[in-house]
Structure 1
Amino acid sequence: MEVHKGLDGVVVSETKISSIVENQLLFAGYNIDDLVAENVQFEEVIYLLWYLKIPAAHELEVFKRDLAAAMPISDTIITCLKIQTRQNLHPMSVLRSTISLLGVFDPQAEATDEQSAYQQSIALQAKMPTIIAAYARLRKGLDPIAPRADLSMAANFLYMLTGAEADPLFVAAMNQALVLHADHDLNASTFTARVCASTLSDIYSCITGAIGSLKGPLHGGANERVFDMLREIDSGDLDVEEYLNQKLDRKEKVMGFGHRVYKTEDPRKKHLKKLAKELTSYTQKEQWYFLSCQVEQYLKEKKGLIPNVDFYSATVYHCLAIDSDLFTLIFAMSRVSGWLGHIYEQKKEDCLIRPRSHYIGPKHLAYRTKNEELRSGGMEG
């Protein structure tokens, strides 16, 4: 059998949700450049990924109302979050466990009819920002803040973090970041969700698995590592070139660079780079933007490496006053929209994903019982 390590270049499913065509990212046929240029709301993109069409005004109104109604979380979930703040856990592990608990407390978690699936999906999409914001506050000894029905998902998240309505520039930046991260072909976490869905498992299990996949530093966890790197450069004695050369000499990966699919430029990067420039200027944190540009220029000119979606998103989230170990949770808060769309699609396909592996270990070994070994002297001692 021909082996494709990491399934590189292997097409395992058909989709109408998102695609990468000639280095452009499309959501259900719409170029993300156009969606960003039109300042499309994240809620519209969620609807697009689930139903493969831009909602009409009345459809969007009902959809946003359903999301807003599902955003609050129970006291039980808050108590579970409080318990997890006392543990030495990564925030992504907290998110994974809490999303799993939503399924435990949902009496309809195993229901598969269309209405139940919709309610489950709305709950997962709407409660994730509330869970993340509540955890961010609880671990600092602060009380959670309830969401407001009159705010968008982006505005609500920033409000729940601080208790104050966010600057309109911050809300627009948050919304755009959520749009850009919403889906991306058959990435590792989406593939995990689809594999789980192909077994006809419940939606909560599919999303829990996807979160576990996103946590890894070679996937969603990279943006957290990006800002760790920028901090190291900023506070250290080495300049950018010396720091990167030492890192590369040690054969260490530079997080936020390189991509399995894109060979010239990640189409999402230019939007996040623009946001990073605007936000660092507005918040007087320009050093992070200039430092990022230096890293990008050196690695591109000297090593031919290109930044991916994670690189500038780290600076964007930092300017929004989000702790770096929460960056990947923001990724999940957006990408759950794509995961849910793919789960629907996979279940309709009704095909178990079950690849093969190429065995390279020993063959035809003979099993010997203890009595046989004793007779042959193999266990004399």
Structure 2
Amino acid sequence: MTATKGLEGIVATTSTISSIVDGVLTYRGIDIDDLALHAGFEEVAYLLWFGKLPNAQELSDLRQDLDTFAPIPQLLIEQMKLYPKDVNTMAALRSAVSALALYDEEADDVSRSSNEKKAIRLQAQLPTIVAALSRLRQGKEPIAPQKGLSIAENFLYMLRGEQPDETSIKALDQALVLHADHELNASTFAARVTVATLSDMYSGVTSAIGALKGPLHGGANEAVMRMLDEIGEVDQVESYIQEKLNNREKIMGFGHRVYKNGDPRAKFLQKMSRELGEMKNDTKLYTMSVKIEDMITGQKGLKPNVDFYSASVYTQLGIESELFTPIFAISRVSGWTAHILEQWVDNRIIRPRAEYIGLTDQKYIPIELRA
């Protein structure tokens, strides 16, 4: 046996959900460019779960189900109120999603119909949980979801307590589409490993959230925003970035293991960042980001990934950086649950081997003879 560090290049399973071939990302065979330009997030979630775009009735039924499931139990809200105010938001989300299973009578029902319902329930409730966590951190009461709103619109409404503008809704909805799935990434693999033991869907999603919490996966956009805050002004970009490059420090938001010629999702987020800045008559974050991109691409040959411009997009939507990765989870739960459903169609427990490189031919030494 020979180990491959990080399982790079190892094909661990087959899937019909998403693919990355020659730098092109597709969901169920549809190019991400096509979906980002034309599809709403609810359509994409349906596509990931059921393998096809919904017709008008199917989309209407899905939206009705999402409305039904969006409220979260009051007992869960009371539990969330006991979390420390300064707790990591992803840690709080992980705990809350794990607790959701306690309030679902079908949590351990492994039938396909029940698991499809749980996928929709989780998709509906994650935005409500994240918005509630945000408001509780601010000492405010959570706002209940409204019926008849899209996931993007409802989330912004529950955060702010007021109806969001159409540009903001469109920007967040497109961001959700772009983050919905990404083949066998770390969090998706974690979800599949967990449910391959025939554990429940809530456990699988909790595992995925735990993996997404790490800065090498889901936390990169928060690191990008911290960098932009540290730089402060456009005229400070060049000196700041050059110092980082001279010191061989990593610049978050650039490069991707599976994309050699650039992340196809980044261009949409760049456009959103510019449009939101222009709408607010404040393009500083966008201009800073472009200058950073020019320097990194020019000197290192690295192009921005999906995390880089999402930082300025979310900030211009009035969303604090602590929610960047939870928003990632709101979108990616559609992909996680699609992969969980797929794993169970032809399940086998995922149990790889490890190449042993430790000592050999050792003997037991009685304690009185040990040094």
TM-score by length of structure 1 reads 0.94
1:25-104 → structure 2 map (5 Å cutoff): 25-38=25-38, 40-84=39-83, 86-104=84-102
For the pair 1:340 / 2:344, whether they are aligned, the reply is no
Give how far 1:99 is off. 0.2
Between stretches 358-367 and 43-52, larger displacement belongs to 358-367
1:267-286 → structure 2 map (5 Å cutoff): 267-286=264-283
Give how far 1:87 is off. 4.7
Aligned residue pair count:
371
Cα deviation per residue 1:236-293 (whole Å; 9 max; x = unaligned)?
Answer: 9x83232223323444321111100001110000001000000011112201000000
Cα deviation per residue 1:106-144 (whole Å; 9 max; x = unaligned)?
Answer: 222111112321222121110000011111111111111
Residue pair 1:129, 1:157 contacting (<8 A) in 2 also: yes
Cα distance in 1 for partners of 2:175, 2:37 equals 13
Give how far 1:68 is off. 0.8
Cα distance in 2 for partners of 1:251, 1:348 equals 46
Aligned to 1:16: 16
Cα deviation per residue 1:190-234 (whole Å; 9 max; x = unaligned)?
Answer: 111111121111000000000000011111110111100011011
User: Residue 130 of structure 2: SS of its match in structure 1?
Assistant: helix
Give how far 1:50 is off. 0.3
Residue pair 2:192, 2:343 contacting (<8 A) in 1 also: yes
User: Residue 226 of structure 2: SS of its match in structure 1?
Assistant: helix
User: Residue 239 of structure 1: SS of its match in structure 2?
Assistant: helix
Cα deviation per residue 1:298-343 (whole Å; 9 max; x = unaligned)?
Answer: 0000111111000000111001100001100000000000000000
Give how far 1:104 is off. 2.1
- Bigger radius of gyration: 1
* Aligned-partner residue type, residue 276 of structure 1: S
* Aligned-partner residue type, residue 36 of structure 1: A
Give how far 1:356 is off. 1.2
For the pair 1:187 / 2:185, whether they are aligned, the reply is yes
Aligned to 1:4: 4
Q: Which sections of structure 1, spanning at least 5 residues, go unmatched? A: none
User: Residue 267 of structure 1: SS of its match in structure 2?
Assistant: coil
User: Residue 144 of structure 1: SS of its match in structure 2?
Assistant: coil
User: Residue 368 of structure 1: SS of its match in structure 2?
Assistant: coil
* Aligned-partner residue type, residue 183 of structure 1: D
Between stretches 240-249 and 44-53, larger displacement belongs to 240-249
Aligned to 2:236: 239
Between stretches 246-255 and 109-118, larger displacement belongs to 246-255
User: Residue 81 of structure 2: SS of its match in structure 1?
Assistant: helix
Q: Pick from 279, 284, 287: which aligns with 1:287?
A: 284
Q: Percent identity?
A: 50
User: Residue 264 of structure 1: SS of its match in structure 2?
Assistant: coil
Residue pair 1:285, 1:319 contacting (<8 A) in 2 also: no
Aligned to 1:216: 214
For the pair 1:120 / 2:80, whether they are aligned, the reply is no
Residue pair 2:255, 2:262 contacting (<8 A) in 1 also: no
User: Residue 186 of structure 1: SS of its match in structure 2?
Assistant: coil
* Aligned-partner residue type, residue 35 of structure 2: L
RMSD: 1.4
* Aligned-partner residue type, residue 349 of structure 2: L
Give how far 1:235 is off. 5.8
Cα deviation per residue 1:30-69 (whole Å; 9 max; x = unaligned)?
Answer: 111111222x111100000001100111111111100111
Cα distance in 2 for partners of 1:253, 1:108 equals 45
Cα deviation per residue 1:337-364 (whole Å; 9 max; x = unaligned)?
Answer: 0000000111112111111111111111
* Aligned-partner residue type, residue 270 of structure 2: K
Aligned to 2:205: 207
User: Residue 83 of structure 1: SS of its match in structure 2?
Assistant: coil
User: Residue 19 of structure 1: SS of its match in structure 2?
Assistant: strand
